[in-house]
Every structure is written in structure tokens, then in C-alpha cells.
Structure 1
Amino acid sequence: MRITHLLEALQPLALLAARLYVAKVFFYSGLTKLRDWDTTLALFMDEYHVPLLSPMLAAMLGTAAELVLPLLLALGIATRFGALGLFVVNAVAVIALPEITDAALQQHMFWGSLLIGLLLWGPGRWSVDHWLLRRWIAGGDIRS
């Protein structure tokens, strides 16, 4: 029983760590794409084969998602939406790369696992989502 309580007490920290880790990975990836846009476009035209989207649109949407959704995760705002969006970005990245190394695939699977955990369990107590939910349940006006 005691170990269970200790582990449950650590859950907010674990969820925060997962949110911050995944947010950092994807945000830095987005910054890299933005810094060298010509290379990003070339990669989407020549190497990344995103189904159903033109290379330009795929590059723009992917980069925007990698810059905006991690901010939601890090702050714990609309966390499940952000986690779902990054899960899709992550899955498309794996699908779009015709040749992916085992090491890269393992990284993507790890990130996907963390994102699924956030989808299932939410952001935890240390998030804006939790604060807003508590205020809403308490009958408080979240606009004040």
C-alpha cells in the first residue's frame, strides 16, 4: 500500500516530465525546419513522402504543428489535443520516411508511447488544464 501511494504521488511529476520531454523534442525539430526553410522544402520534396499533401503544404503544416502543439503540452493547455496532434505528426513522420533506421524508429515509438500516455491519463495536476477543470467543477467563473 505504501509504495502505491508513493507512486501515485509521483504521477504529476512523471506526467510533467513526459509533457516537457516530448514538447522539447518536437519544438526543437520545428525550430530546425524554420531556420533552414529551403532545406526543409527540399526534404519534403525529395525524401519525406507525406500522403495526400503537397510537399509545400506538408512542410508548412508539419512545421506549424511542431512549433504550436509542444507549447500546449509544456503548459498543459488542451493537452490531450496537443498530444493527439503530435501523435499524428509522429506517425506521419514514420510513414513518410521510406527508409527509417531502427534507432530512429525506436525513438518515434518512445515518443508515441509518451503521447498515448498523455492522451489516456491527461496532463496531471501540474497543468493549466487541471487548474481550469478544478475552477469549473468548483463553480467558479474561469473568466475571472
Structure 2
Amino acid sequence: MSVTPVLQEERFSPFVRVTMRIWVKSYRSILALISPFFDLLVRLLIAQAILRSGLVKLGDWDTAVNLARFEYPVSWMAPETAALIGVLIEIVAPILLLFGLFTRFAAFSILTLLAVSQIEYVAVDLNLWLIAILGWYVLRGAGAFSFDRAASAGLGGSALPFARPMMRLFGWLTDCGAPVWLMILRFWIAATLLGSAGILSLSEESKFLPLNSFAGLGATAATILAILSIVGLLVPVTGLLLILSLSTLAVMGLHPDLSLYPMLVFGLLILFGSGYMSIDRLASRWLESN
């Protein structure tokens, strides 16, 4: 008879093991209750921002074409075509995103538009934070309050061509791709923190890191938060500390240009975890096995 299971069971008293499991389950239940409302709020905020931009351009088409021709020309596309595609994306995709209909495709189209703007035009932190959020929706899809989620059960058993393979692909992206994105977000935030602290020397990479968003955050605090993000230790606490730190800087007037979107990215990490390659994930599995 193997004694290994017995030894594992004797590491903690039954009271400690049961208590830890109850705390973990309660914490996950609370997050599961909050996450659909947070998901809806995020989709609403992104949709209104992108839709507003599209309506402004649609209301003054000549200006939209001139912007595409002179301000942010796309070298491989005619200005009229670029303006038309941009306006269509900025009007149709946000509406789909808001209602959670074809969410992954809507998020990908907006993400592509923002990526082109970031690379071809002026690099701004806002685009990067929006891309970070939209990448999450490309991989995970919308939450419970969405048409996609309501139709998923029926499509999974549908006889429509490609319906079942597509739903299996979406399920795989949600289960495997979304944790990868959370991991990437952790490393990306850590690199930005280390860059703002002066520890990483950045040149061309700076257009892909929202360095200005962490302006005013001390080097020591940035380094500690970066290390916690890299190893994936207490990621929900790290996310809360980032929100509190940046909010405090904004209230004190030390960071007047801070937007809401970094807070939404930190909220994703708080609610959905650290993803792969993290101490938090290992600790969670260890608790479940003991």
C-alpha cells in the first residue's frame, strides 16, 4: 500500500484544508457573480468610445477623407477606401460588441484598426490599452449578458455547416487562448513598469508600451509591482494596487492624462486571474489537490 496519499493528507489538519477550500470556492463564486456585469460595463465603455469617433467622421465625410489622406495615411490603401473601411468598423463593430453579437469578429476588427493607427500614425497609450482589452474579447468572447452566449448552446448542437467546428474552436480559444492572453498582459504590464522605472532601456519598443500611463509612479513601487506581475504572485492584489496607485496620482493632479482603460485591464486580471506560468495558478492547483 502506498503511503504517499496518507502523507499528503497529513500535511494539514482537516479543519485547515476544509477552511482553505471554502475560502477559495467563496472567492471564485464572488468573482463569477461580478464578472458578467464587469464584462458588460467594459463592452459598453469601449463601444461608446469607438462609436462616437465613427459618428463624428460620418457626419463630416470630407474631413474623414482628408484625415485619411494627410493625417494618418495608410501607404497600401487609397484614402477614400481607408476612410470608408475605418468608418464602417467604427460604427458597426461597436454595436456588435455592445450586444455581444459576433463579439470575437467585432473585437478583432476594432483591434486591427487601432493597431494600424498605432503603427502608421501617432503612437498613443489609449490605443494600446484598448488593444489589450479587445485581444481578451477576441480570445474569450463576451460574457453571460450577450447574444453570443445565448446562442452558443444551440449552435453547438446545430446541423448548420461549420457550426460545430466553429463552436469547438471558440471553446478552445476560451479555455486555452484566454489564459495565454492574461499571461501576456502580465508580462506586458511588467515590461512597461520596468521601462517607466528606468530599469529597461527601450527605444523602438516604446511605441508598444504605455509608458506614459505610469508617469509619476515611483521606481521602487514600479519595480515591486513588475516583479509580482512577472511571477504571477497575488495578481488580484497587484491589480488593486495598480488601480489605487494610478487613481491616487490622478487625484493629486500628478497624472492628469490618466484614462479609465488601464483600470479595465487591471480589472481583467483581478477577476479572471493570472493565466499560465504564475505562482497563483500553481497555488490554486495545489489547494485543489490537498
Same fold, judged at TM 0.5 (above): yes
Aligned residue number for residue 22 of structure 1: 46
Task: Name the residue aligned to 1:3.
Answer: 27
**Which residue of 33, 54, 60 maps to 2:78?**
54
The whole-number CA distance in structure 2 between the counterparts of 1:70 and 1:87 is: 11
Paired position in structure 1 for 2:69: 45
User: Could you tell me which residue of structure 2 aligns to residue 135 of structure 1?
Assistant: 154
Aligned residue pairs total 136
Partners in 2 of 1:14 and 1:134 — Cα distance?
22
> Is residue 2:135 matched to residue 1:111?
no
State the partner residue of 1:142: none
Higher RCO by CA contacts (8 Å cutoff, separation 6 or greater): 1
Alpha-carbon separation, structure 1, partners of 2:107 and 2:50: 11
Distance 2:64 2:151 in 1: 38
Q: Distance in 2 between matches of 1:80 and 1:51?
A: 27
2: CA distance, partners of 1:46 / 1:86: 21
Among 89, 93, 117, the alignment partner of 2:113 is 89
1:120 to partner: Cα distance = 2.1
Runs of 4+ in structure 1 displaced over 6 angstroms? none
* Cα separation, 2, equivalents of 1:17 and 1:53: 35
Q: Percent identity?
A: 31
TM-score (norm 2): 0.44
Give the alignment's Cα RMSD to 1 decimal: 1.9
Given that 2:100 and 2:148 are in contact with CA atoms closer than 8 Å, whether structure 1 keeps it comes out as yes
